[in-house]
A and B are shown apart, each in its own frame.
Chain A
Amino acid sequence: DGGITQSPKYLFRKEGQNVTLSCEQNLNHDAMYWYRQDPGQGLRLIYYSQIVNDFQKGDIAEGYSVSREKKESFPLTVTSAQKNPTAFYLCASSIDRRQGRGRTGELFFGEGSRLTVL
């Protein structure tokens, strides 16, 4: 079955450490996204990528980095520069967000990764 796989599901990190969250999809989707979710707040976009070897900053990119070397993979690194990294991180993909019509902008989400900084 096609889907999006995130790992790890739970991650603990000490302050000052970088961590990388994995996101893999076998839906053959062009676009991939990373969102952060905090209690009482909506999903906020960290980074997104429309195509391999290309990505753009979202609304809260500071302290994060990404790469898109393969269509299937879009890992997110939470660096020590991120001041408040404890959160629930969601990876998503869509067929083509630029079509601008129909449901093709629909996001398919992974199960999420919960990061806790100790």
Chain B
Amino acid sequence: GQNIDQPTEMTATEGAIVQINCTYQTSGFNGLFWYQQHAGEAPTFLSYNVLDGLEEKGRFSSFLSRSKGYSYLLLKELQMKDSASYLCAVRWRSNDYKLSFGAGTTVTVRA
């Protein structure tokens, strides 16, 4: 199958750091996306990784290890507005390049 696994929920304090892990099947891998989705709203693009390494974009960074089938999204200096669901999505050549989504990780930021 093409399972994508990520934790269901995480809680952190305002100003702290949280790391959301995502694991996936490596065969045919062709890129990984992270999206943010606030309750009842559309997902919005956060980051894209296709090569090994870290991509940094302000307070958010995303890391990829292709050989391990592993990615993480790092949220630094957490703010209350970061409370949302974070979706890991993978593109596989074997799936005709369509994106498959994990179930999402709900992050709750507390004061």
**Shortest distance from the beta carbon of B39 to any chain A beta carbon, whole Å:** 10
| A29 interface residue (CB < 8 Å to B) | no
Number of interface residues of B (CB under 8 A): 27
**A106 lies within 8 A of B8 (CB):** no
Known: A40-B8, A45-B98, A100-B30. A109 touches B44 (CB 8 A): yes
Known: A42-B104, A106-B48. A112 touches B40 (CB 8 A): yes
| B110 interface residue (CB < 8 Å to A) | no
A100 touches which of B8, B40, B48, B97 (Cβ 8 Å): B97
Residues of the A chain whose Cβ atoms lie less than 8 Å from the Cβ of B30: 100-101
| A83 interface residue (CB < 8 Å to B) | no
**A101 lies within 8 A of B50 (CB):** yes
**B50 lies within 8 A of A106 (CB):** no
Whole-angstrom CA separation of A40 from B96 in the bound complex: 25
Number of interface residues of A (CB under 8 A): 27
**Shortest distance from the beta carbon of B55 to any chain A beta carbon, whole Å:** 11
Residues of the A chain whose Cβ atoms lie less than 8 Å from the Cβ of B33: 105-107
**Shortest distance from the beta carbon of B62 to any chain A beta carbon, whole Å:** 13
Residues of the B chain whose Cβ atoms lie less than 8 Å from the Cβ of A105: 31, 33, 91, 97, 99
Whole-angstrom CA separation of A102 from B8 in the bound complex: 28
Known: A48-B98, A109-B42, A112-B40. A42 touches B93 (CB 8 A): no
- A94, closest chain B residue (CB): B99
| B4 interface residue (CB < 8 Å to A) | yes
Q: List 10 A-B contacts (CB under 8 A).
A: A35-B101, A42-B104, A45-B100, A58-B98, A100-B97, A105-B33, A106-B33, A106-B48, A111-B41, A114-B40
